[in-house]
Amino acid sequence: MLKPYLFVADTEKMGRGVFTSKDIAAGTVVEISPVIVMSLEDRQLLDKTFLYNYIFEWGENKDRCCMALGLIPIYNHSCPSNCEYNVDVEAEQMMIKTVFDIKAGEELTTNYNGDWDDATKVWFETVDV
């Protein structure tokens, strides 16, 4: 399930991102997408590729990884974010839900730490440039 008013566009600093063409109320599920679950061995191989930036830890022990389908890999990181993602390990799917009201034209973001307001720096924020 993917809301038809979502679209992908270029951002100023983060490459591409997910945007909305209409206002969205807080608490709205905007996407539910399946994932492809992979093993720890696959994760170790993927960590050596560009896909490292697009996979999610998976499972109760985070001993696997997954590639989310749909637009989920394209939501940019923000803290706080205006959306949150939830995982359903059993159904092998992820859901994106708005945390705040979002206006038409705004970018939808998630917090890569899992909690929309977790201020812990993520991997690309800790790299010296």
CB–CB of 85/72 below 8 Å?
Answer: yes
| Digit-coded pLDDT (tens) for 29-77 | 999 999 999 999 999 999 899 998 899 989 888 889 999 999 999 999 9
Single pTM value for the model: 0.87
The token pair at 33 is 């997408």
Q: What are phi and psi of 35, to 5 degrees?
A: -125, 160
- Non-local (6+) Cβ contacts of 38 within 8 A are 46, 55, 58, 64, 65, 66, 67
| Digit-coded pLDDT (tens) for 82-114 | 999 999 999 999 999 999 999 999 999 998 777
What are the structural domains, with CATH classification, of the chain? 6-111 (2.170.270.10)
Cα–Cα distance, 95 to 122 (Å, whole number): 21
Cα–Cα distance, 102 to 63 (Å, whole number): 34
